[in-house]
Structure 1
Amino acid sequence: MGTETSTSIAFELGVDTRLTLLITGLIFLAGLVLGVWKYHGIRTSPKAAAHVYVDIAHRAALLYAFAGVLLAVFTELSGWPTAVNLGADLVVLTFFIVAITSYIWHGLRRDTTNQLAGDIDRFTGLTMVALIGGEIGGFLVLFTGFLHAQF
C-alpha cells in the first residue's frame, strides 16, 4: 500500500461571512419547510393550488437564500471592515426575513392575494421605501467593498 497524502489549505471565513451564511442557511431551511406547507395546500385544495402567499413565501425564501450566499461572497471579498460588512448584511437579510414573514402572515390569514393592491397606507409605503433603500444600499456597501479590495 502506498502512502496517501492530501494537501489541505486551511481558510477561515470572516465572522461577517459566517454569520451571513448562518442566517442564509436558516432562510433556506425555512424555504424547505414552507415547501411542505405549500405541498399540503396543493394536496388539500380543490383547485390543487396552495394559497398565493404560501407559494410566494416558499419561493421568496428559496430565492433569498441564494441571494444570501451571493451576499456572503461579496462580504468575504470586501475590503471594508468586518463591522461595516456585517451591518450591510444584516440590513439586507433583515428585509429578506421581514418580507418572508409578511408573506407567511398573509398565507396564514388568507386575507389577500395582493398585499399592495388598492390604497397603500403610510406605514406600508414607508416600509417599501425602507426596503428598497436597505436592500440596494446594503448590497452597494458590499459591492463597493469588493470593488475597492479586488480592483
Structure 2
Amino acid sequence: MDSLLHSTAACIALGAAGLFFEAGLLTGLWKYLCMRRSSEAQAPHYVNVAHRAALMYAFSAQLLAVFAALSAFPAWVNTIAVIPPLLFFAIAIVHYLHLGLTTLSNNTMRDSADRNKDYQILNILAAAEIGGFSVLLAGFFSRLLMS
C-alpha cells in the first residue's frame, strides 16, 4: 500500500478516484430524488448515465493508480500516462451532468449539432484513454519481467 502513496501518478489517480466516487454518490442521490418526483419513478436518461459513469470511472481510476504504482517506468512517464485517461473521465462526467441537467436529449450523438466534431473528440478520447493505460500496463509487465 505504501507504494501507492510514494507514486505521484498513483496519488493523482487515487485523488481522482475519490472525486469520481463522490460524484457517483451525489448523482445517485440526484437520481433517487428525480425518481421520487417522477410519475413513472424514473430519472432522466443522462442522470442515470452520469451516476453509472462516475461510479465506473472511480474504480477505473483506482486501477490506473495500482498499475502506475507497480510500473517499472520512471515516475514522470507514469504521471504523463495517468493524466489523459483521468482528464477524459472527468470531462465525460461533467458532460453527462450537463446533459442530465438540461434533459434535452437521451442520445447526444443522434441529436448532435456537429457529429464530425463529436467523432473527433471521441477519437481523441479513445487514443488518450487506451494509450495512457497501455503505457501503464507495459510498465507493469516490464516490472514483472525484471523481477
Per the normalisation by structure 2, the TM-score is 0.91
Partner of 2:133: 139
- Residues 85-143 of structure 1, C-alpha deviations (whole Å, 9 max, x = no match): 11111100011011111111111111100111266522211101001111111110100
Determine which of 19, 22, 45 is the counterpart of 2:38: 45
Equivalent residue in structure 2 for 1:73, among 63, 66, 69: 66
Counterpart position of 2:27: 34
Q: Which residue identity does 1:75 align to in structure 2? A: A
Sequence identity, in percent?
39
Q: After TM superposition, what 4+ stretches of structure 1 lie above 3 angstroms from structure 2?
A: 9-12
1:126 aligns with 2:138: no
Written as runs of structure 1 = structure 2, the 5 A alignment for 1:89-104 is 89-104=82-97
Structure 1 or 2: more helix by fraction: 2
**Is 1:117–2:110 an aligned residue pair?**
yes
Say what the alpha-carbon RMSD is for the aligned residues: 1.6
The separation in 2 between residues aligned to 1:40 and 1:10, in whole angstroms, is: 39
Structure 1: runs of 5+ lacking an equivalent: 1-8
What SS class does the counterpart of residue 68 from structure 2 fall into?
A: helix
> Which residue in the other structure is 1:83 paired with?
76
Deviations 1:1-42 (A, max 9, x none): xxxxxxxx9664312211210111111111101111111111
Asked whether the 8 Å contact 2:17–2:62 carries over to 1, the reply is yes
Match of 1:17 in 2: 10
Gapped runs of 5+ residues in structure 2? none
Equivalent residue pairs, number: 143
- The amino acid across from 2:56 in the alignment is L
Matched, 1:64 2:57: yes
